[in-house]
Amino acid sequence: MRRLTALLLLALCAGFAEALIVYRPENSGAVNTVRCYIRIEDEDGNDVTQEGTRGSYAWVTDPADRPPKELHPYAGRYYLMGGIAAHIGFKRHGTYRITVYTPADEQQLSPAATGTEWVSNTFVYRTDSTLKVLFVSPTADEDGFYDGGWFLSYRAPPFYKVTKPARR
């Protein structure tokens, strides 16, 4: 499963050599439908998600579209759901801080709704880095239940049919 995912992501990278891919594999249950939004800040802490980048997305898990043949430009905020890979091209070279978040008012489908914004860890990304893919996973408590949060990593999450959540 990891090899298939890696091959799909390499195929996605081919058209966007200078782009960063932020990939959210499918998860179990209703957490797939909960959107997380991508926030990108420059070195000064300014939000440059819309002005300093260009973004598009592809459904990686659509069985009729393997590997994805079509990228769809974002019309507004950059978001991810289970099975979506976002392609983010940076207009300027530099260092950026990337986080994903879900506002409290958009958690209604999840049993892990907390009433507060779910925010991931901050990932520092340099455009001259060889890193081209980040993975987003939901977080879980010690019992394995989703607890309302996100985890960004350059490492692919462990798979067992669906992505295992990152334990806190």
Which of the residue ranges 5-14, 26-35, 44-53, 81-90 would you say has the lowest mean pLDDT? 5-14
**pLDDT tens digit sequence for 28-73:** 777 888 899 999 999 999 999 999 999 999 888 655 555 666 889 9
Amino acid found at 31:
V
Task: Give pLDDT tens digits for 144-157.
Answer: 778 888 999 999 88
> Domain range spanning residue 73?
2-167
Omega before 111 within 30 of 0, i.e. cis: no
CA distance 48 to 89: 12
Residue corresponding to tokens 């950026």 = 96
Check: CB of residue 11 under 8 Å from CB of residue 40: no
The one-letter code for the residue type at 67 is P
State how many domains the chain has: 1
Highest mean pLDDT among 2-6, 59-63, 103-107: 103-107
Give backbone dihedrals phi and psi of 35, rounded to 5 degrees, phi first.
-80, 145
Give me the phi and psi of 26, to 5 degrees please. -65, 150
